[in-house]
Amino acid sequence: MGKIKDMVKTWLDIRPNTPQRLVVYQNKDFRTMCAINRVWLRGDAFELASLHGQLEGYEHAFWGSVSTSGMEIKKSHSGLPAIITNKLTDIVLNDYNGIETEDSQLNDYWKSVITDETSSDLFDDLLEEVITDCLAIGDGAVRFVYNPEIGKPIIEWFSSENVDFIYKNKKLIEIDFNFYYEKNKKIYHLIEKRGYGYIKYELYYNDELVSLSNIDELKELKNISFINTVMLAVPCMIKKSKRFKGRGSAIFEEKYDSLDSFDEIVSQWLEAVRDGRATKYIPESLCPKDPNTGETLLPNPFDNKFISTEDDMTETGASKNKIEVTQPQIPTENYLQSYITYLDLCLQGIISPATLGIDNKKITDANASYERQMEKTTMYTRGKIIKALNNFIPRVVTTAYQFKFILENGNIPDIKEVTAKFGEYNSPSFDAQIDTMSKAKTNGIMSIETLIDELYGDSKTEEWKQDEVKRIKEEQGITSIEEPSVNMDLNIPKDDEVDEE
């Protein structure tokens, strides 16, 4: 037996496979991806068809396909990307409660920057644009400019189409803002380079560096230098791109195939409904006539109200020359099941259907826990957005304050910590949170203070929370007693007094 094993070992010659070199080509660069994201966000069916007709590799997609002549269908867009983006933006904005800092001067200055003559909050409008573009386009950045007419800095947002990020050793060292000017039928490209301690301007024509004097409105621009610890621009991205390093990604970039198929199902359903309208078969003798020429009117291809048939010329034809109405059966259940399936594919990992007000026929009263689990998807996405804003908003506030001292040619002081405040998301899972914490409190593993802090988070002030805790304790008959100190007079009788007694 041992000799046989040795022989098998000798015969079995296992060699590693030769490494194979694979080459995969990208058919879209970052700017093209931004354009695709922008068109999906706009949600116009004509623009979607026009865009996909120009993209390579989309000939067999719904939006890139061309109908056979005479068999055209109406291509309908569900508007789902815009609905998702707007809903997530509204959820986050409704929970934003401003900033918090111990520096009263910084707080007052920030209020003056974001408040206009109508006392409206300009930063809320900017924040809405920031969240929308970061969710739907990919990323972007704000820059700070000074307007001497109003005497305060202005914060401007640029989405990813017009911004480039420059990295060195994985650290962001410069943000480039792109502008385009047309003069004498020539397109000039202005790059405003903003890094730590400088702002530089470069004008290009056909990738060749030219003088700024070629454009009249750019003649007065000059390079600026200041303290090298400040960059007068702040980037923002919510989801990092796995395709383009150092850039952001739209939340539904991986969902475009599903969104394309979802629109196809919606369009096919609509076409089936249109084709399923009642059709009237009318003998030619009974068809409507043109009152002027007497000719038979042709049916409209949209409504298809009547179709003429050959008259019965027999003696008994009078009884057969009658109008017949037919209507095909529409497979509604099949379309509905396809609709639900692809709707789930489009929303998976992004947002719950319940958040959008969609009833996908899966949530029942008996399965409320499933609804809460689905709602957690919205909470996870919201948490990712807030995490990005907790980094972005404080940097915008502190940079605006630093810009004030740069304009005044003064020394920049040490700035105290700035935090953004967000309230709790009022979702069905919030009710479950109350139920869970109430059980924890009843079982004695959570204090009233912790319960109130977890439930309300930053949506209530510390003073309000303390008053709420005090009120609850008073209602429950819980009172606090001062602990006696060591030197407190307890009126203990002396030894001689005890002996006398």
Among residues 451, 413, 458, the alpha carbon closest in space to that of 433 is found at: 451
pLDDT of residue 484: 56
Query: Is there a single domain that holds both residue 281 and residue 244?
Result: no
Q: What angle do CA 180, 182, 183 make, to 5 degrees?
A: 140
Among residues 340, 329, 374, 339, the alpha carbon closest in space to that of 355 is found at: 374
Contact predicate 378/388, CB 8 Å: no
* Cα–Cα distance, 492 to 494 (Å, whole number): 7
Last residue in a domain, options 253, 288, 314? 253
Return the higher-pLDDT residue of 169 and 328: 169
Q: State the residue for tokens 């409209």.
A: 300
Query: Is there a single domain that holds both residue 282 and residue 187?
Result: no
Among residues 390, 430, 382, 432, the alpha carbon closest in space to that of 91 is found at: 382
Read off the pLDDT band of 468 (50, 70, 90): confident
pLDDT of residue 5: 62
Contact predicate 199/143, CB 8 Å: no
Return the HEC string of 54-96: HCCCCCCCCCCCCCCCCCCCCCCCCCHHHHHHHHHHHHHHHHE
Task: State the total domains in the chain.
Answer: 2
Number of neighbouring beta carbons within 10 Å of residue 491? 4
pLDDT of residue 205: 92
Among residues 151, 152, 147, 145, the alpha carbon closest in space to that of 179 is found at: 145
- Residues 76-98 have pLDDT tens digits of 999 999 999 999 999 999 889 88
**Within-domain flag for 397:** no
Return the higher-pLDDT residue of 184 and 277: 184
CA neighbours closer than 13 Å in the CB half-sphere of residue 384: 16
**Within-domain flag for 28:** no
Return the higher-pLDDT residue of 307 and 478: 478
Last residue in a domain, options 327, 359, 388? 327
Query: Is there a single domain that holds both residue 137 and residue 224?
Result: yes
Query: Is there a single domain that holds both residue 200 and residue 235?
Result: yes
Residue 202's SS3 state is: strand
**Within-domain flag for 188:** yes
* pLDDT at residue 294 tops 50: yes
Query: Is there a single domain that holds both residue 238 and residue 316?
Result: no
Contact predicate 253/33, CB 8 Å: yes
Query: Is there a single domain that holds both residue 299 and residue 243?
Result: no
- Residues 469-498 have pLDDT tens digits of 888 888 877 766 555 555 555 555 555 554
Q: DSSP labels for 249-277?
A: --TTGGGHHHHHHHHHHHHHHHHHHHHTS
Query: Is there a single domain that holds both residue 312 and residue 248?
Result: no
Return the higher-pLDDT residue of 212 and 1: 212
* pLDDT at residue 317 tops 50: no
| Percentage of the chain lying above the pLDDT 70 cut | 77
Angle between helices 45-54 and 30-42 (to 10 degrees): 160
**Within-domain flag for 229:** yes
* Cα–Cα distance, 121 to 155 (Å, whole number): 13
Contact predicate 57/27, CB 8 Å: yes
CA neighbours closer than 13 Å in the CB half-sphere of residue 188: 19
**Within-domain flag for 63:** no
Q: Token pair of 390, please?
A: 């907790």
Q: Is the dihedral of CA 145, 148, 154, 160 positive or negative?
A: negative
For the chain, the residue count is: 501
**Within-domain flag for 68:** no
Query: Is there a single domain that holds both residue 313 and residue 223?
Result: no
Query: Is there a single domain that holds both residue 249 and residue 122?
Result: yes
Radius of gyration of the chain (CA): 35
What is the enclosing helix (H) or strand (E) of 388? helix 368-407
Q: Token pair of 38, please?
A: 């922008």
Read off the pLDDT band of 18 (50, 70, 90): confident
Among residues 354, 351, 271, the alpha carbon closest in space to that of 86 is found at: 351
Number of neighbouring beta carbons within 10 Å of residue 452? 19
| Percentage of the chain lying above the pLDDT 90 cut | 36
Number of neighbouring beta carbons within 10 Å of residue 197? 15
* pLDDT at residue 276 tops 60: yes
Contact predicate 189/180, CB 8 Å: yes
Among residues 253, 259, 331, 323, the alpha carbon closest in space to that of 288 is found at: 323
Q: Token pair of 235, please?
A: 């980037």
Read off the pLDDT band of 62 (50, 70, 90): very high
Q: Quick one: average pLDDT of 436-465?
A: 76
Query: Is there a single domain that holds both residue 224 and residue 293?
Result: no
Return the higher-pLDDT residue of 344 and 479: 344
Query: Is there a single domain that holds both residue 295 and residue 240?
Result: no
CA neighbours closer than 13 Å in the CB half-sphere of residue 419: 6
Last residue in a domain, options 253, 287, 302? 253
Q: Quick one: average pLDDT of 341-366?
A: 76
Query: Is there a single domain that holds both residue 247 and residue 295?
Result: no
* Cα–Cα distance, 364 to 371 (Å, whole number): 8
pLDDT of residue 373: 58
pLDDT of residue 286: 65
Q: Quick one: average pLDDT of 152-167?
A: 93
**Within-domain flag for 212:** yes
pLDDT of residue 249: 93
Alpha-carbon torsion angle 273, 275, 277, 281, nearest 10:
-170
Q: What is the mean pLDDT of the chain?
A: 82
What is the enclosing helix (H) or strand (E) of 200? strand 198-205
pTM of structure: 0.75
**Within-domain flag for 322:** yes
User: Which residues touch 483 (CB under 8 Å, ≥6 apart)?
Assistant: none
Read off the pLDDT band of 329 (50, 70, 90): confident
Contact predicate 457/432, CB 8 Å: no
Return the higher-pLDDT residue of 176 and 70: 176
Q: State the residue for tokens 């003559």.
A: 117
Return the minimum-mean-pLDDT range out of 329-338, 353-362, 444-453.
Answer: 353-362
Among residues 126, 125, 111, 93, the alpha carbon closest in space to that of 423 is found at: 93
Number of neighbouring beta carbons within 10 Å of residue 472? 14
Alpha-carbon torsion angle 489, 492, 495, 498, nearest 10:
150
Q: Residue 223 is part of which domain span? A: 118-253
